[in-house]
Structure 1
């Protein structure tokens, strides 16, 4: 099979979908690996490294898109790439379609088979194995971002996250106790912050209590507790995930008025639309903005800030699935692995994930039930 890798062109995105080591495994199995020239440079991988691994370097993105039977990316295609989508190729990448009607329209119109990393499930339908590595990175970065932007020169309250003897540390509230939230809390605890984790699952609350062993408060996330904890926080980390669906808006505009001046919201859920009503995507180049005196950090590709680490972690997770798709063929691989099949968001001009369809139905604003609002 011809497996293609293109350069990511989303602003400030420096990851690449496949390491040279991954390319070597595919080439050794007899597959043709096409890598756009310079695709790996942002992650520290030269063209020569890919050539040495058995890949072919292709000058232009258009040629890779046109020739690849399986197209690997990190982030979802942006508008300038929509014309490259075609029904003869399978796209394997992060998509987050519930928050992107325009991309969904383009995928449906193209006839492309689009498999989303974030909805592939593990054995028995449990876990999200291809979302987990980037969630780990994003969670750890979220705590670092909170600490950084709490500093006064960057718009924050001027509070040291770990405090010093005689001075209280920052209060960090993590909304959601999944992979992102757990990793964010671990780093925040390690930096000496006073950490509270809000979670709704009783089973997960018990797991978190055992995991942190008193080093963080673990509370049931009900509306009153959420409101109280957010009001008293220096940093709020939104780590909410509903697989394949838009994130619930748990932090309302009205709640911002009760927060501490210059408090920081780090909304890791921004890929799925954000868990704060006031969240809108930002970039690494321009990461923050202020609403009602509260600093918002809503970078939509946080792991892209550490591309070498992220690319290695992503390939470690995706490569077994890429091998299956290449070795068996797409349809046979989807038939053999129900977890991989759950990653198919669009195929044959149809949306196959109910949560995505529901989110997009809710976004239609022009009164035409056959058209998605852009």
Structure 2
């Protein structure tokens, strides 16, 4: 198969979809790999490293898209890329369709095959291609939250871990999945007073067993959230419904009950955000303030640490990319239910129910293709 790796062009996105190591593995399987020049620079991988393992370097993004049968990316295509995607071309990347109708309609119009990292799902309901970036984003949410609690950055002026004789910051984490767990580990390690809210009692029991003493668990409800927001300094949105829009757990009217300088970090922004006031921001302009509450909602948080993120992501995606390249998407998805669940749009048909529901689009059962 001919595989193309374009340079990511989303604002401040420095990750790359294949490392030189990944290219070498695909070459061993007999595949041809085109990499756009400088695609790996942001993650610390030079063109020479790709050339040395057999990648063919192309100067423009247009050439990569025109030659490739399968495009492997990190982030969803942005508007400048829509017209480059060809009929029947397989695009393997994060899409997050349910939060972005123009992208969804553009991919329908392209008649391409869209296989989304975020909905590849194992039998135990885990999301193997979302996990590594969730781990990075969960840890980063505390790092960023601690920074924006500083007074010069419009926060309350609180040190996350406090000091002897002064209480630490209170951190509220909505969601006890991968993001929430990693956020809690980081916040607890820095000495904060942490509470994780979730709807699953088994998950809360597990977290209660494994977390340190400064992490508490609480059943998630609107009542409990409204009670807690009045005295918490940092609130992390870490809720995920695979492939669907995130629920709005912090509403606009709740902001007036928060103290000035409270910081909200919405890691669910890719799926529409779990705060009603969330709007996507960039690393270049990461925050905005509503009712004296600081909002941080960068849509590609792991892009700020591209070396770590690229290695973590490609460790997870490469085995699936090899399956798709070796067998073609139809045979690979027939033989792997995990990959089958990653299919969102096929040749103009929406085959993932949560995406069709998000925009009232016609739904086509996967059985038409697989």
TM-score greater than 0.5 by the shorter chain: yes
Give the corresponding residue for 1:291: 290
Task: Report the counterpart of residue 252 of structure 2 in structure 1.
Answer: 253
Distance in 2 between the 1:34 and 1:252 partners?
46
* 1:149 corresponding residue in structure 2: 148
Residue 88 of structure 2: aligned partner: 88
1:56 aligns to what? Answer: 56
2:4 is the alignment partner of 1:16: no
State whether residues 323 and 332 of structure 2, in contact with CA within 8 Å, keep that contact through their aligned partners in structure 1.
yes
The answer on 1:274 being equivalent to 2:273 is yes
Q: What is residue 329 of structure 2 aligned with on the other side?
A: 330
Q: Distance in 1 between matches of 2:199 and 2:76?
A: 30
Distance of 1:342 and 1:231 partners within structure 2: 40
Q: Which residue of 2 aligns with 1:304?
A: 303
Aligned to 1:172: 171
Query: Structure 1 CA distance, aligned partners of 2:57 and 2:209?
Result: 49
Residue 213 of structure 1: CA displacement?
Answer: 4.4
CA distance in 2, matches of 1:147, 1:41: 29
Single out whichever of 213-222 and 147-156 deviates more from structure 2: 213-222
The DSSP-based 3-state class of the residue aligned with 1:18 is coil
CA contact 1:125–1:339 (8 Å) conserved in 2? no
Alpha-carbon separation, structure 2, partners of 1:231 and 1:18? 45
> Which residue in 2 is equivalent to 1:70?
70
- Quick one: distance in 2 between partners of 1:56 and 1:211? 48
1:227, 1:95 → 2: CA distance?
Answer: 32
Q: Name the structure 1 match of 2:359.
A: 360
Q: With the length of structure 2 as denominator, give the TM-score of the two structures.
A: 0.97
Structure 2: runs of 5+ lacking an equivalent: 364-370
Encode CA deviations 1:205-246: one digit per residue, 9 max, x unaligned: 111111114330111001111111122210000000000000
Q: Is the 8 A contact 2:188 2:212 kept in 1?
A: no
**Deviation per residue, 1:270-323 (Å, 9 max, x gap):** 001111111100000100000011000000000000000000001000000000
> 1-side partners of 2:29 and 2:351: how far apart?
31
Q: TM-score, normalized by length of structure 1?
A: 0.95
For structure 1, the residue ranges without an aligned partner over 5 or more in a row are none
Conservation of the 8 A alpha-carbon contact between 2:66 and 2:84: yes
The residue aligned with 2:368 is none
Could you say what secondary structure the match of 2:283 adopts? Answer: coil
| Count of matched residue positions in the alignment of Structure 1 and Structure 2 | 363
Residue in 2 that maps onto 1:350: 349
Q: Within 2, Cα distance between the matches of 1:117 and 1:230?
A: 33
